[in-house]
Structure 1
Amino acid sequence: MNLPSRHPSGSLWERGTGWPRPMAEFQELFDRMNHFLESAAFTSPLAETPALAPPADLHETDEAYVVECELPGIKREDIDVEVGEHEVSISGELRESEQAGALRHRGRPTGRFEYRALLPVDVRSDDVTASLTDGILTVTIPKAQAAKPRHVEIQG
């Protein structure tokens, strides 16, 4: 069985018959998704290769957002935390450790890493705290206080 070939114009309809070509639709969908994923892949501005994304959790409490990011073996000096009004960014570099002898197998990644998350509300970036304990970076980002409705007396 021969599969239908893709029309050069990219049309989803076969010329002259008016019948849809399911394989052409799947191919076009696949092409669009592939293009989307390639364009959405984040690359570090300092390197040509994509940055590693460390495992991280983002929790929300009533007062703050808490990011817990796994960064085993990374020194405090090699981590950069930036918080804007609606975004948190954790980046740095995991350097190759110096070992004696010939390396036979590499199972741990090295290179630049970056974690980014958008925050749905304004935060107080001046009050952000970060701590690194047992390879877990914990960043606490307090929420900005929203204006609370209050009753206003009319004078005069």
Structure 2
Amino acid sequence: MDMDKLKQWLDIAQSMHGNDFWKTIFDQDMAGFMDEQKREKPTDGENMSQGKKGDIFPPIDILENDKEVIILVEIPGVKKEDIELGLNGDSLLIKGVSMQFFSEFRKKYSERFYGEFKRSIKLPDEIKPEEIQAKFWNGILIVSYLKPPSYVQPINIE
């Protein structure tokens, strides 16, 4: 790149933005940008609702050991009656509505997600709906099931 052209571009950019040109370039919220880069992205085939800055809602954890799988779904401020849970093959479907608190106030700043949400989570196993237990406790939906026994079906070799 030609250094003279780069200097011309920098002079033009600074004249358009005033003396605060470099300050506006480097005073961006880099911490938020870095947090977004570190955040684990959803796996293929996973649908989700997105809030501001591409945040995934509702956030989940999938935990497992040799016997059980537990899915924790964080949905603060949502009533149990406003949540729908379903199973489609090996995908857990979560649907609901997160209502805004204090609707008579103007929003000055908000990081919370409000509105309808829907998320499909691919489960590690294919199970039947009657094998799933779900509890709602303190804004956390706890979905669990026992892992199906793994066995290998023998195949005759001729």
The one-character-per-residue Cα deviations of 1:16-63 (angstroms, maximum 9, x if unpaired) are xxxxxxxxxxxxxxxxxxxxxxxx99577xxxxx99521110011222
Moved more, 87-96 or 104-113: 104-113
Q: Which structure has the larger Rg over C-alpha atoms? A: 1
Residues 1-156 of structure 1: matches in 2 within 5 Å? 1=1, 42=47, 53-100=57-104, 102-107=105-110, 108-147=112-151
**How high is the TM-score relative to the length of structure 2?**
0.54
* Identical residues among aligned pairs (%): 25
**How high is the TM-score relative to the length of structure 1?**
0.55
More contact order relative to length (CA 8 Å, sep ≥ 6): 2
Cα RMSD (Å):
3.1
The count of residues paired between Structure 1 and Structure 2 equals 107
Conserved? CA contact 1:42–1:51, under 8 Å: no
In 2: Cα distance, 1:125 partner to 1:92 partner = 19
Query: Which amino acid in structure 2 is aligned with residue 95 of structure 1?
Result: M
Stretches of structure 1 that go unaligned for 5 or more consecutive residues are 3-39, 45-49, 151-156
Q: 1:87 to 1:42 in 2, by over 3 A?
A: closer
In 2: Cα distance, 1:90 partner to 1:104 partner = 27
In the TM superposition, structure 1's runs of 4+ consecutive aligned residues that sit over 4 Å from their partners are 40-44
Stretches of structure 2 that go unaligned for 5 or more consecutive residues are 3-44
For 1:126, what is the secondary structure of its paired residue? helix
Query: Which has more helix, going by share of residues?
Result: 2
Conserved? CA contact 1:70–1:137, under 8 Å: yes
